[in-house]
Chain A
C-alpha cells in the first residue's frame, strides 16, 4: 500500500525539514518565553499604564488568526522600513503569538503565589527585582511548567504556517514532495507521524511533571500538615 522505497528515499529530506521545524520552534520558544514573562508581570500590575496595552496585545493575538499576524509582520513591517527575511518574519510572528499565551500562563502562576512571599521578601530587605528573580519567579516557573510545555507543543504545530513564507520546514517539505511525487499518503504521512511523535513526547513529559508535582504536594501536606502548599 505505502511505497516504502519512496519513503526511504525522501527520509533524509524529511529529517532535515524536521530539524528546520525544531529550529524555528526553539527560537520562537525562547523569545516567546521572554515576552510572556515580561508581559505576564506587567499584567499583574495595578497601574492602567501597564495593563491596558497588555490587554490590547493579548486580546488582539487571541482573537485574530496566526496567518493574519504572520502577514502583518511579513508584509506590514517592510512599510515601516524594517526589512525582515521570511525566516525572521516567522520568528517574530510566532514569538509574539506564543508570547501572548505564555503571558496568561505566567499571570496565572503569579496570582497563585501567596502574597506573604512578597511581604516576607520585603521584610528581608530584598528589592522588587531581587524578590521577583530569587523568590517569586522560580516558584512560578516550577508550577507552570506543565502548561508551558503544552504551549510549546502548540507552538511547534503553529510553526507549520512558516510553509506559507516558503521556509523549508516540515509542512512545506511535505507539500513540495507531494507535488513532486504524486504520493500524498507517503508525503504527508511521514511528517504527520513526526509531528505526532513530538506531540506525544511533550504530552507525556507534561503529565509526568504534573503528576510528580502533585505527589510532592501531597507529601508536603502529609509531612508538614500544611493547609495550602503552593
Chain B
C-alpha cells in the first residue's frame, strides 16, 4: 500500500532516528578508550598469558567482519543466559570492535614513544600511575588522535549494521519509510545526508590532524 509522507516528515523522522545512532557514541567511545588503553598496556608490558590471550582475541576481532561479530554476540548472549535489549546489544558489539581497533592504535602509540620519556619520568621519582597519567597518556592520546577520530567515523557508520539485529535507528526507519512511500531514493538520500553531515567533517579533521602530526 502506498502512502504519502511529506519530505519534511521524512526528514524529521529520520533525524530523530539518527539520534539513536549517535547515542551509542559516548558509551562505545568511553568503553573503547578505557579498555583499549588497558589492553595496549598489558600487551606493551608483555604480561604473560594475558597478553598472548588478548593478542589472539584482538586479532580475531580485527580479522572478522563486523556483521558476523554482531550476529555471533546476538545469538550467543541469550545462549549463555544474558538477555539484552537492542540498544545494549549494540553497545556490546560496537564496544568489542572499537576496543580491539583502539587497543592496536594505542599500542602503536606506546611503541613509538621515546624511551627517554620513561627514563626521565623515573628519574623524577614518579610512580607507575603518575608516569601513565602525566607523561605517557597525554602524549599517546595526542599522537593517535587522527586514528581515534577515524575510529569515531567507523563506529558511527557501523551503528547502521546494528539495525540488522532489531535496533530501531535511521537505516531501519528509512526502510520502513521506503516500504510505505515506495520511493527509496528520497529516504536513502536523506539518510546519506545525515551521515555525511556528521562523518565528512570528522574525516577532514582526521586528515588535518594526520598532516599536522607528521610534520
List A residues at the B interface (Cβ < 8 Å): 59-60, 62-68, 71-72, 75-76, 79, 156-161, 163-164, 170-171, 174-175, 178-179, 182, 184-185, 187-188, 191-193, 195-196, 198-200
Query: Could you tell me the distance between the alpha carbons of A159 and B65 in the complex, rounded to whole angstroms?
Result: 8
Would A71 and B171 be within 8 Å (CB), given that A161-B67, A196-B64 are in contact?
A: yes
Residue from the list A71, A160, A199 in contact with B67, Cβ < 8 A = A160
Residues of A within 8 A of B175 (CB): 71
Q: Are B62 and A188 in contact (CB under 8 A)?
A: no
**Interchain CB contact under 8 A, A158 and B68:** no
Known: A67-B171, A68-B191, A75-B188. Is A195-B64 also a contact (CB below 8 A)?
A: yes
CA–CA, A76 to B158, complex, Å? 21
Q: Write out the residue numbers on chain B whose beta carbons fall within 8 Å of the beta carbon of A196.
A: 59-60, 63-64
Interface string of B192-206 (1 = CB under 8 A from A): 100110111001000
Determine chain A's interface SS by DSSP, over half rule: helix
CB atoms of A65 and B157 under 8 A apart? yes
**Chain A residues within an 8 Å CB radius of B178:** 75
Q: A63-B153, A67-B171 are in contact. List 20 more A-B contacts (CB 8 A).
A: A59-B203, A60-B192, A63-B196, A63-B199, A63-B203, A64-B157, A64-B199, A65-B160, A67-B160, A67-B161, A67-B164, A68-B191, A71-B175, A170-B68, A171-B68, A174-B71, A191-B68, A192-B60, A192-B72, A195-B63
Whether a CB of chain A sits under 8 angstroms from the CB of B75 is yes
B183, CB-defined interface residue at 8 Å: yes
Interface string of B69-81 (1 = CB under 8 A from A): 1011001100100
The answer, yes or no, to whether B166 is at the interface (CB within 8 Å) is: no
| Contact present for A68 and B195 (CB under 8 Å) | yes
Cβ–Cβ contact A160 & B184, under 8 A: no
State whether A199 touches B196 (Cβ < 8 A).
Answer: no
Among residues of A, the one whose C-beta sits closest to the C-beta of B156 is A65
From the candidates A164, A188, A200, name the one contacting B72 in the complex (CB within 8 A).
A188
Chain A residues near B69 (CB-CB < 8 A): 192
Contact A171/B76 with A64-B195, A68-B171 known, Cβ cut-off 8 Å: no
